[in-house]
Structure 1
Amino acid sequence: MCHACVIDKVKTGMLSRRDLFRGGAAAGVAAVAAGAMSARPALAQSSGKVVDLTHAYDGDFPTFDGNPGILYSSQYDHDPDGYKIWELTIYEHTGTHIDAPLHFAPDGASVAELEPENLMCPLCVVDITGKAADDANAMVEAEDIEAWVSANGAIPEGACVAMHSGWGAKVGEASFRNTPDGALAFPGFAKSATDMLLDMGAACIGVDTLSLDPGNSADFAVHYSWLPAGRYGIENLANLDQLPATGATVFVGAPKHKQGTGGPARVLAVT
């Protein structure tokens, strides 16, 4: 057989196998998608709109303790090295980030151990902007969950229930973190609400503030009950005002470092 014929035959075989793999990959993706949808029938039928719920952050982004949450050290520069690399020092609970069960439970799951199916959730947005405008430490309480259910239907099992307090718009202002006299002040969840959400089977809660508990909390009751129950939380969410109360699906790009108590995450919603 001539050399050219051998090359042609090899090309033909490669193309045939490529088509086969493409078909197999497409079938595999369809099967995974079908499996995910059957596991979570309440996931949104997407219209294609994606909303980024993640704040971009640097050392100036507000943190609970007031210290910079991320530090940059330049290791290589375009001039003279021809490329750029930063060495980063990142504190787990800064920026838009995950609180894993291990954060408040010694035997809780680390962020690397969160179940993948719990990182893709029907999203329920509970709007408390009205009362948060009057009280910087306003809370999502049991009656707010009841009112949401009355207006929108049941909280889907495996849902992410997010508090929209309007605080996301305050990032960059001192009032995002504290009162003029320096006291921590921002909305959060009440234990009455999260106990109800535990019974409803919610997978996680999210807030557009620095903490799952309100700023004036003295006992971190939500952290000490929600996380040890095997659930997780998301803090410092952005752009919740761009989403409906129900009908969106949230995709939580959680970090996966072993023994992690949490960490910065990219969180996206699809409607």
Structure 2
Amino acid sequence: MTRLWDISPTVSPASPIFPGDEPFSLRWTARLSPECPVNLSAITMSPHVGAHADAPLHYGNDQPSTAEVDLQAYLGPCRVIHAIGCGPLIKIEHLQHAEANLPERVLVRCCERADETWNPDFTAYAPETVEWLAARGVKLIGLDTPSVDPATSKSLDSHQQLLRLNLRVLENLVLDEVPEGDFELIALPLKLAGACASPVRAVLRSL
């Protein structure tokens, strides 16, 4: 029987965000009543809250927005690799044990439990690891922390590797219950014109 792993955190006002980013908020614009047949809500939030896909526009001017990216990378065979407690950076040696026959999508579990509050000391990707994965045919990378670059980075070296190598990325996933192995990934971004990122409802399905 096919099993689904929901690897998206719940988005709420309590969702951790980069300092200065726009938090999630929801307000009601209409409420069900004798005069109104429906409840209607409106939301405001950074597209980087919760599980999300960065668009190339996030780290490069005149690059595609989320409405313009090819969807192929976000759907298909995927490998989850465990590098729990690997330190500040995911290095090549943390992934080599699962290198054989890599599919085009690789998600790395860095955390025993994904952070539910803002923690600036999260694990990110070493730039050379991004290049190593791309050299093995990987088209999308992801992880269970807020960014592929450290919170203090100003040069965003791993994001620039994504741009140079034409890779897609998923951040803020929840991989707490996911074992190492191969799955089908489904994590489509919304078609948001001009946006630098998009929320995704990311799931893994057993093969």
The TM-score, its normalising length taken from structure 1, stands at 0.70
Instruction: Please say if 1:195 is aligned against 2:131.
Output: yes
Higher Cα Rg: structure 1 or 2?
Answer: 1
Question: What one-letter code is carried by the residue in structure 1 that aligns with 2:76?
Answer: C
In structure 2, what is the Cα distance between the partners aligned to 1:256 and 1:164?
27
Matches within 5 A, 1:156-167: 156=103, 159-166=104-111
Partner in structure 1 of residue 98 of structure 2: 148
Distance 1:88 1:228, change over 3 A: farther
Any stretches of 5+ residues in structure 1 without a counterpart? 1-46, 179-183
Partner in structure 2 of residue 114 of structure 1: 69
Determine if contact 1:76/1:83 at 8 Å carries over to the other structure.
Answer: yes
Structure 1 ranges of 4+ moved more than 3 A: 215-218
Determine if contact 1:75/1:85 at 8 Å carries over to the other structure.
Answer: yes
In structure 2, what is the Cα distance between the partners aligned to 1:114 and 1:167?
32
Cα offsets for 1:10-54 (capped at 9, x unmatched): xxxxxxxxxxxxxxxxxxxxxxxxxxxxxxxxxxxxx41011111
> SS in structure 1 opposite 2:85?
helix
Question: What one-letter code is carried by the residue in structure 1 that aligns with 2:101?
Answer: A
Instruction: Please say if 1:227 is aligned against 2:183.
Output: no
> SS in structure 1 opposite 2:81?
strand
Distance 1:167 1:68, change over 3 A: farther
Any stretches of 5+ residues in structure 2 without a counterpart? none
Question: What one-letter code is carried by the residue in structure 2 that aligns with 1:231?
Answer: L
Determine if contact 1:141/1:189 at 8 Å carries over to the other structure.
Answer: yes
Which has a greater percent of helix? 1
Work out which of the residue numbers 72, 80, 89 in structure 2 matches 1:139: 89
Partner in structure 1 of residue 3 of structure 2: 49
Question: What one-letter code is carried by the residue in structure 1 that aligns with 2:60?
Answer: A
Determine if contact 1:108/1:228 at 8 Å carries over to the other structure.
Answer: no
Partner in structure 2 of residue 103 of structure 1: 58
In structure 2, what is the Cα distance between the partners aligned to 1:167 and 1:68?
27
Determine if contact 2:83/2:95 at 8 Å carries over to the other structure.
Answer: no
Instruction: Please say if 1:249 is aligned against 2:204.
Output: no
Instruction: Please say if 1:125 is aligned against 2:61.
Output: no
In structure 2, what is the Cα distance between the partners aligned to 1:112 and 1:163?
26
Partner in structure 2 of residue 25 of structure 1: none
Alignment root-mean-square deviation, CA: 1.9
The TM-score, its normalising length taken from structure 2, stands at 0.89
In structure 1, what is the Cα distance between the partners aligned to 2:98 and 2:153?
24
Taking every aligned residue pair, what percent have the same amino acid on both sides?
23
In structure 1, what is the Cα distance between the partners aligned to 2:158 and 2:7?
22
Partner in structure 2 of residue 215 of structure 1: 151
In structure 1, what is the Cα distance between the partners aligned to 2:196 and 2:110?
25
Determine if contact 2:114/2:144 at 8 Å carries over to the other structure.
Answer: no
